[in-house]
Amino acid sequence: MSKFENLKKQWESVMSCMGCGDCGYAIRPAVGRFLTCPIKEAKGEEGFEIWFSRGRMNVLKSILEEKLPLNKELAEFVYQCSECGNCTEVCHQTQNENIVLNTSKWIDHVEVWNALRKDLVEAGFAPLERHAILIEYMNTPEMRNPYGEPKIKKSDWVSEFSNIKEKSDLVFFGGCTMPLRQLDTLKNLMKILEQSGLEIAIADDEWCCGSIALRIGDEKAVLNSIKHNIEQFVAKGAQTVFTACAGCYRTLKKDYPELLGEELPFEVKHITEVLIDLLNNNQIPFNQQEIKPQKITYHDPCHLGRHMDLYEIPRELIASLPGVEIIEMKRNRKNAWCCGAGGGVKSQFADLALNISIERIEEATESGAEILTTSCPFCIGNLKDAYESMDEELKNKIKVIDLIDLIASKL
Ligand code: SF4
Ligand code: SF4
């Protein structure tokens, strides 16, 4: 029998699942809930319990009772979960806000899934093939990013911007996806900050934040990166570190202090929190000559919304843009449908991630919006991949645009 020490610490959570099945079937129009688990719906295999939380919890009960061993086959199922956290929301929410379900109140599902992932890694049944490559790239000295690109590519654009200084109390953490896969968006962000008169610094040698390894359950692979990145930020004079990636934001703001067991010596902000301040101070020089009316809907990245409770600032930012009317999708905020990319799903199970994003784009189209935007490079990458696979009729109805590109188009 393999060890499962991390899972044992989640014993109370696992055993307190009462098997109600809301995490698979809840539809409550009155509170804006229309189903819960993107994996279960994308799989379309009605009744196959391990694709959603109730079945997963039952498997974990069997592991804890030593009736089922950890193994490689189990790992294949476990990693088909985007760790979106939607099961936590529905599990803690009843039809009536005056009814508190004590049995489910304390389950943090993402923590439970992570505990199992850590045990699978420690037992040698994970990482899965593709995940192992990403972690290897992340820890290769010449790369330090999961895309396997030379490290220098992450910052070879810096000299183009006059507002990037040697030191600043405001330090930008670029992450990996935007500089290596969405460079135009990153340059648009720098253009906005430069034209708004905001001076920033960038670490000389930034490493991947480690989000991918943490979601996979390989905590040991990240510990050096945490120390290194913090030293880099402090050396630049950081009072505030900000990032445009929802995954980096969660990792820096929540995981770093939790793993270190101490507060960080700086504040961590998401780009929308920086931009809203600039906008409220009238520092963003919008082009007032060509204001075009636009109906825009916003997709909540799971790592910003359910994981970090940042729902309203991105909406305030969008609603304050010249000419913009913000329209909500049927499922928004705590009930938002995941894009399908997180938790290592996009890298190991690309078609599954794509199918979930297709459903999200269809939902955005139904809202009547002409633009679907979001503020996470990982979400936008998956949504755009899905968009490219969709038919022309739909593409004529809606566009998928990063919030940064949207703002830059209005300068
Ligand atoms: S995880 Fe929560 S919502 Fe799902 S079956 Fe268990 S108690 Fe019900
Ligand atoms: S975290 Fe999301 S994908 Fe995973 S079981 Fe819960 S609802 Fe499904």
Strand ranges of the sheet holding 371-374, from the earlier edge strand across to the other edge: 324-326, 294-298, 371-374, 399-402
Which residues touch 310 (CB under 8 Å, ≥6 apart)? 249, 270, 272, 273, 304
Ligand 2 centroid to 355 CA: how many Å?
Answer: 15
Last residue of one domain, picked from the residues 96, 122, 148: 122
What tokens were used for 271?
């780009």
Ligand 2 centroid to 52 CA: how many Å?
Answer: 6
Measured between alpha carbons, how far is 411 from 400 in angstroms, rounded to an integer? 19
CB atoms within 10 A of CB 133: 14
Indicate whether residue 14 lines ligand 1 (CB < 6 A).
no
Bridge partner residues of 297 (DSSP)? 372
Atom of ligand 1 nearest to the CA of 18: 7
Can you tell me which residue has the tokens 């670490």? 203
> 27 and 62, same structural domain?
yes
Indicate whether residue 89 lines ligand 1 (CB < 6 A).
no
Indicate whether residue 35 lines ligand 2 (CB < 6 A).
no
> 328 and 270, same structural domain?
no
Indicate whether residue 85 lines ligand 2 (CB < 6 A).
yes
> 136 and 268, same structural domain?
yes
Indicate whether residue 53 lines ligand 2 (CB < 6 A).
yes
> 139 and 117, same structural domain?
no
Atom of ligand 1 nearest to the CA of 20: 8
> 141 and 116, same structural domain?
no
Indicate whether residue 78 lines ligand 2 (CB < 6 A).
no
Measured between alpha carbons, how far is 373 from 320 in angstroms, rounded to an integer? 14
For 293-314, b where at least 16 C-beta lie within 10 A, e where not — what string? ebebbbbbbbbbbbbbebbebb
Last residue of one domain, picked from the residues 80, 107, 122: 122
> 200 and 334, same structural domain?
no
The residue nearest atom 2 of ligand 2, judged by CA position, is 84
Ligand 1 centroid to 230 CA: how many Å?
Answer: 38
The per-residue pLDDT for 2 is 55
> 102 and 135, same structural domain?
no
My answer on whether omega of the bond before 150 falls inside 30° of 0, hence cis, is no
The per-residue pLDDT for 106 is 77
Domain CATH number, residue 396: 3.40.50.1860
Measured between alpha carbons, how far is 54 from 74 in angstroms, rounded to an integer? 15
Last residue of one domain, picked from the residues 247, 279, 311: 279
Residue 39 to residues 24, 246, 315, Cα–Cα distance (Å): 10, 21, 27
Domain residue limits at 343? 286-408
The residue nearest atom 3 of ligand 1, judged by CA position, is 91
CB atoms within 10 A of CB 201: 21
Measured between alpha carbons, how far is 308 from 310 in angstroms, rounded to an integer? 6
> 270 and 151, same structural domain?
yes
Atom of ligand 2 nearest to the CA of 23: 7
Please count the structural domains in the chain.
3
> 159 and 60, same structural domain?
no
What tokens were used for 247?
């995954």
> 301 and 374, same structural domain?
yes
> 141 and 86, same structural domain?
no
> 57 and 25, same structural domain?
yes
* Average pLDDT, rounded, for the chain: 95
Domain CATH number, residue 186: 1.20.1050
Note the pLDDT tens digit of each residue in 278-321. 999 999 999 998 899 999 999 999 999 999 999 999 999 999 99
Indicate whether residue 53 lines ligand 1 (CB < 6 A).
yes
Measured between alpha carbons, how far is 200 from 370 in angstroms, rounded to an integer? 34
> Distance of alpha carbon 234 from its chain centroid, rounded?
25
The per-residue pLDDT for 277 is 98
User: What parts of the chain have a pLDDT lower than 70?
Assistant: 1-2, 94-104
Q: Which of 12, 95, 107 to mutate to test the pocket of ligand 1 (most atoms within 8 A of CB)?
A: 107
SS3 percent helix, strand, coil of the chain, rounded to 5, is 50, 10, 40
> Distance of alpha carbon 237 from its chain centroid, rounded?
27
